[in-house]
Amino acid sequence: MAALSNSQMDKLTSDIFSVLENNFLFGYENPPSLPDAKSAAGKVRILSIDGGGATDGILAAKSILHLESTLRRKSGNENAHISDFFDVVAGSGIGGVLAALLFTRGKNDRPLFTAGEAVKFVTENGRRLCRFSKPGILRRAFRSTASVFDRTFGDLTLKDTLKTVLIPCYDLTTGAPFVFSRADAVEMDGCDFKLTDVCAATTAANGPTKTTSVDRKTKVVAIGGDVAMNNPTAAAITHVLYNKNEFPFCNGVDDLLVVSLGNGEPSSLTAGNGAPSRTAMVKIVGEAVSDTVDQAVSMAFGQARKSGYVRIQGNKGLFGVDKKYVNMSVQADDMLKQHNVESVLFQGKKCNSTNLEKLEFFAGEILKENERRKTDMLPMVLLNRTTTSSSARTSSATTVSTISSS
């Protein structure tokens, strides 16, 4: 047998991982199609947004703003919103707030916020929503956070979102992550929550937040999503692969197009003795887990990662080197100009084009899928818009054990 080239070996390794991945997810009794088999209909487009990093959501918001501007320019539609180009959004912490702002139905069935308005929101409120407060001001900080969300979302619930939305928190009642899911909310009243409560739960950095479903039957005692699942990309992918009701033709990573947005690596906040502060330590742990998720997802995509998966993340070393970054918006702009760091299968990481150039390229891939769907007879997404009985199936992404316990 002739020796295989490096590219052939990478392709073979990727195929093996894809088969193992599908067997793990779906079991050996229902074997998946071969990795090279072409999907019946295009790609499911996923947007994933990390919890608050050193920029408290501004990097992710600026990334979305640039992506939305690029999509508007390339599509020729100046009134397009980011939600027009994605089928699924997952957000944790301040990323969950961004997901809710950009994918909740407002007037005339259009999103509540544009990307530009979302940037303004996190610039004005990001630090207040994501930073740990001293015990003496805990109650005042919580009241302030609740009022911000009340003014923004009012009585809107998960059922009022435009696309599949996934927003995690950590539930102290069950000792497990809980993912607020539009799919579950539509199918089961016990999983429908007010978006004000969802956002308060996923940003609950200042202490446990009690959240109750609209029908008062499900109770969650939440700690922030960036503690439970700082990078929700893997949860979003798992949700899509398992949810055959809404994504019937999605069988593996070859059928996905994923844009994952980080929020910058943790700053060098230290206590007086040089050790990281408690706030910095929580952020360090969250970003370390996010990096692990990025590596795992990149490995799952293998050769398909070049056109199927991108991670936008600030590079280490930018923080603490210059006091000019008192303006987080300026810092986020500089981070987008940095070289993009790509996780490579079994080869660590490498720098390539800039974050902005990556976003430009993936905007093109997203628009290709948009154009393809205009002529395809098979729908890639069948969004459920009707409420069924309380015995309905729940999505794999959501921990619903609180329903029985409450």
Question: Which residues are annotated as catalytic?
Answer: 92
The values of phi and psi at residue 300, to 5°, are -65, -35
d(CA 71, CA 47): 14
CA dihedral for 19, 25, 29, 34, sign (positive or negative)? negative
Residue 311 backbone phi and psi in degrees, to 5? -120, 120
Strand partners, 220: 211
**Do residues 81 and 351 make contact, with C-beta atoms less than 8 angstroms apart?**
no
Report the amino acid identity of residue 343. S
Helices (H), 243-354: 278-301, 305-308, 328-336
Whose structure tokens read 């703003």? 65
Q: Do 196 and 153 contact (CB within 8 A), yes or no?
A: yes
b/e sequence 70-105, b meaning 16+ C-beta within 10 Å = bbbeebeeeebbbbbbbbbbbbbbbbbbbbbbbbbb
Report the half-sphere exposure of 160 (CA within 13 A, side-chain side): 23
And the tokens for 174? 């069950």
In single-letter form, the type of residue at position 220 comes to V
* Cβ neighbours around 308 below 10 Å, total: 19
For tokens 């230290």, the residue is 270
